[in-house]
């Protein structure tokens, strides 16, 4: 076995293995987020109109800047409360560095979930080096969800043309201290 590590191609093979393992980890995280369904039994609801999307993915790293320009989880909590009041199913995704912005240390899914009053299955912090934008757009596509953000996702419009469709992106912010959301 020690002869193997002395060979020049050993480093390349180890790097390939590590990249493969990272991709499998990322895929498992994304699948866990996408496949989660509320396990509580709920009475049958009336069918929703065909054009109504009841699930939203919140770009947590974007929304927490909406009030005052500095990252603040209270801003995100207020937005989530507003969306909950409209009976929308919520998922929140963050860039890997989001915890450092609000608590000066890394925060994983369950730490954010606790602070936001959500189940850990509804929160995803993407791994370092992974673009959250693509993960958000992929989840929204797979779940037929809309996205709450002020990001235009222009860099992703070719791969995700839905970003240019009216109503897919839910814009928001604060005017005179009052939250507004474009929930058309």
| Cα–Cα nearest to 57, from 145, 141, 125, 118 | 145
pLDDT tens digits along 121-158 = 999 999 999 889 999 999 999 999 999 999 999 999 99
**What are the residues facing 125 on neighbouring strands?**
94
- Percentage above 90 pLDDT, the chain: 66
Check: pTM over 0.75? Answer yes or no: no
Residue 42 banded pLDDT, cuts 50, 70, 90: very low
Strands in 169-170's sheet, in edge-to-edge order, are 123-125, 89-94, 55-59, 146-148, 169-170
- Three-state SS annotation for the chain: CHHHHHCCHHHHHHHHHHHHHHHHHHHHHHHHHHHCCCCCCCCCCCCCCCCCCCEEEEEHHHHCCCCCCCCCHHHHHHHHHHHHCCCCEEEEEECCCHHHHHHCCCCCHHHHHHHHCCCHHHEEECCCCCCHHHHHHHHHHHHCCEEECCCCCHHHCCCCHHHHCCCCEECEEEECCEEEECCC
């Amino acid at each position: 076995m020690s002869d193997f590590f002395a060979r020049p191609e050993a480093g390349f093979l180890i790097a390939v293995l590590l990249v493969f393992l990272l991709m499998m980890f990322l895929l498992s995280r994304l699948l866990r987020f996408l496949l989660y369904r509320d396990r509580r039994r709920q009475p049958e609801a009336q069918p929703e109109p065909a054009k109504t999307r009841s699930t939203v993915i919140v770009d947590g790293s974007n929304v927490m800047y909406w009030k005052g320009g500095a990252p603040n989880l209270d801003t995100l909590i207020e937005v989530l409360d507003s969306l909950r009041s409209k009976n929308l199913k919520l998922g929140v995704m963050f860039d890997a560095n989001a915890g450092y912005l609000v608590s000066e240390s890394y925060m994983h899914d369950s730490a954010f979930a606790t602070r936001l009053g959500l189940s850990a299955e509804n929160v995803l912090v993407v791994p370092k080096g992974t673009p959250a934008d693509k993960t958000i757009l992929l989840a929204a596509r797979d779940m037929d969800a809309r996205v709450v953000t002020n990001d235009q996702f222009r860099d992703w419009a070719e791969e995700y043309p839905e970003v240019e469709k009216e109503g897919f992106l839910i814009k928001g912010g604060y005017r005179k201290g009052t939250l507004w959301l474009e929930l058309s």
